[in-house]
Amino acid sequence: MSGRLAVVGLGPGDVRWLTPQADAALAAADALFGYGPYLDRAPVRNGQRRHPSDNRQEAPRARAALETAAAGSNVALVSGGDPGVFAMAATVCEQIESGPAAWRGLDVEIVPGVTAMLAVAARVGAPLGHDFCALSLSDNLKPWPVIERRLDAAAQAGFVIALYNPISQARPWQLTAALERLRRYLPATTPTVFGRAVGRADETVAVTTLQAADPAGADMATLVIVGSAETRLVPRLGHAPLVYTPRSASA
């Protein structure tokens, strides 16, 4: 089969976080697919067809990209951040698993990108300097009790926790519930970071405590990092404190 599909991570927003490999994959494509606002971040090049689609159209978008690649095109399917983190690479794998046998013969490449939790962490210091985990608070594809169980386990195990998809118009209460849950296990003073639209013109980053964390400060472009009991602030002169998690942990 002559076509190919690259699932390309664009990073969280800043063009300097687009890797040379991702840029080359975009340049080589003759058809680009993606959620409209993400596709808008890919440079416009002559001769390329662009196929924007709506949010939450992941499966049809992946199928359309696979069909186009199977017909012989060089396709780039773009994803915000890293395509393997709560994003299009898994959707493509799902569709290949359940789709026509011919899709298993396609040349598929996953091109990694900077995921949001790394960009947010870098803005404040090194909160992910020791063991951490990432959880999506979206209960669209998993039941809320599963999320509660994972939050409990992560907090009790001492992981720093990065919360993706914390809130949306359709999911207004989940972040409140998650923070209440984490307050059962973690000190009130646990550093908590809200990074919104990091790397974009409207970026905001706020450092607070778990007790004071206010879900009203988050939207669907926000990533929340809740520290572990070891995460701390280093005050500095003339600069914001550094938020970090030491590399060592006590027993």
Binding site residues, ligand SAM, CB under 6 A: 12-13, 79-82, 85-87, 115-116, 120, 164-166, 195-200, 220-223
**Cβ nearer to ligand SAM, comparing 3 with 125:** 125
**Smallest gap from residue 233 Cβ to ligand SAM (A):** 21
Handedness of CA 42, 46, 47, 51 (dihedral sign): positive
What SS3 class is residue 138?
coil
Pick between residue 70 and residue 193 the one whose CB is nearest to ligand SAM: 193
**Which residue, 106 or 122, is less far from ligand SAM as judged by CB?**
122
Is the CB of 106 or the CB of 220 nearer to ligand SAM? 220
For ligand SAM, which residue has the nearest CB? 81
**CB 167, min distance to ligand SAM, A:** 8
Q: Which long-range contacts (CB under 8 A, 24 or more apart) does 243-248 make?
A: 243/124, 243/125, 243/126, 243/127, 243/191, 243/193, 243/207, 244/125, 244/126, 244/127, 244/129, 245/126, 245/127, 245/128, 245/129, 245/130, 245/132, 245/160, 246/129, 246/130, 247/129, 247/130, 248/130
The least CB distance from residue 56 to ligand SAM, in Å, is 10
Q: How far is the CB of 246 from ligand SAM (least distance, A)?
A: 25
